[in-house]
Chains A and B, each alone.
Chain A
């Protein structure tokens, strides 16, 4: 069964040539944002799970009993089948009893409005019908900035419409994959995306 995560589906929808790069095993260049994001996630996850509270987050009272404590933590893993495919992912935080999950985003490229519209939220809503709410914590890229720019918490209801839209989005992504048309975002066979995640490693530059 082919396994598809939110990131893979997003690649197929927005930058299909990167799916090819991934399948070819070409690595993404090392990225400071990624490492900084991991640090922010760790601090926030420890705080909401009350593993280690952080004074900079004392205004965040919401608790999530289950959080990732290691990369690819099975406690936060989900998967569900769609046809011949397995859709999978990991929650940043989980509170099944209260029907909610947590997503943490660091840096300035995310906003409440963007997350409302995002298919990541809708896909995670589809992953478990017991979910009624998504919580989002937005924070500055570096924890040093948090004393002046407090991390913020948002919550959104999860609806049947979200789930329907996610289902269609997954099916559309699968269609792209099955069509084999994975160079639609190239211009004359070349990657012209300044923000291509593969950067200098992109074989289509």
Chain B
């Protein structure tokens, strides 16, 4: 779309089609980014370097592989708000401070 203002001229059907096409493009772009990053990673012989105007560094994220009980034994659990419980109480009519936001869900319909 050359001019984002053109969106105002589209019908609802055209908007949904545009959304679906743009989502596909987004998936393609994200796949391409992953391939580029994997290729760059394989070519890097250091933890970081400057290439052109960019600083490229390898970062690490730790993904913990333990159970809740194991974490508890280590003192590594913390209380958190249970939103499912809050929703049940809210649905029963209990007054709980809240704010409602609306958002759009767009899902493909399966045709048999």
* Contact across chains for B49 and A154 when beta carbons are under 8 A apart: yes
* Contact between chains at A156 and B47 (CB < 8 Å): no
Residues of B within 8 A of A107 (CB): none
CB contact between A116 and one of B45, B46, B47, B50 (< 8 Å): that residue: B50
Q: Nearest-CB distance from A181 to chain B (Å)? A: 36
Chain B residue numbers with a CB within 8 Å of A116 are 50, 55
- Choose one: A113, A154, A157; the contact of B47 (CB below 8 Å): A154
The answer to whether A112 and B45 touch across the interface, beta carbons within 8 angstroms, is: no
B57 interface residue per 8 A CB criterion? yes
Main secondary structure, interface of B, reads strand
Q: Given known contacts A113-B55, A116-B55, is B45 in contact with A156 (CB within 8 Å)?
A: no
Contacting residue for B57 out of A61, A112, A157, CB 8 A: A112
Residues from chain A with Cβ under 8 Å of B50 in the complex:
116, 155-157
Query: Could you tell me which residues of chain A, from 127 to 157, have a CB within 8 Å of some CB in chain B?
Result: 135, 152-157
Q: Mark B43-59, 1 if CB is under 8 A from A, else 0.
A: 00111111000010100
A87 to B48 alpha-carbon distance, docked (Å): 29
Cα–Cα, bound, A61→B57 (Å)? 18
State how many residues of chain A have any CB contact under 8 Å with chain B: 12
Q: How large is the interface on B (under 10, 10 to 19, 20 to 34, 35 or more residues)?
A: under 10
Nearest CB in chain A to that of B47: its residue: A152
Inter-chain contact A153/B47, CB cutoff 8 Å:
yes
Q: Which residues of B contact A156 (CB under 8 A)?
A: 49-50
List A contacts of B46 (CB < 8 A). 62, 135, 152-155
Given known A-B contacts A116-B50, A156-B50, A157-B50, A61 and B45 have beta carbons under 8 A apart:
yes
Chain B 32-76 residues near chain A, CB threshold 8 A: 45-50, 55, 57
Q: How far is the CB of A158 from chain B (nearest CB, A)?
A: 10
- Distance A155 CA – B49 CA, assembled complex (angstroms): 5
Q: Do A154 and B45 touch (CB < 8 A)?
A: no
Interface centre among B45, B47, B49 (most CB of A within 10 A): B47
Q: Report chain A residues within 8 Å CB of B55.
A: 112-113, 116
List chain A residues, Cβ under 8 A from B57. Answer: 112, 154
CA distance A154 to B58 in the complex (A): 10
**In the complex, A138 Cα to B45 Cα: how many Å?**
15
Give the shortest distance, in Å, between B106 (CB) and chain A (any CB).
40
Q: Known: A112-B55, A116-B55. Contact between A152 and B48, CB under 8 A? A: yes
What residues make up the interface of A, taking CB atoms closer than 8 Å to B? Answer: 61-62, 112-113, 116, 135, 152-157
5 closest A-B pairs (Cβ-Cβ)?
A152-B47, A154-B48, A153-B46, A156-B50, A155-B49
> Can you identify 10 A-B contacts, CB atoms within 8 angstroms?
A62-B45, A112-B48, A113-B55, A116-B50, A116-B55, A152-B48, A153-B47, A154-B57, A155-B50, A156-B49
* Known contacts A112-B55, A154-B48, then 7 further A-B pairs from the complex at CB < 8 Å, ordered by chain A residue: A112-B47, A152-B48, A153-B47, A154-B46, A154-B49, A154-B57, A155-B46
Q: Which residues of B contact A (CB under 8 A)?
A: 45-50, 55, 57
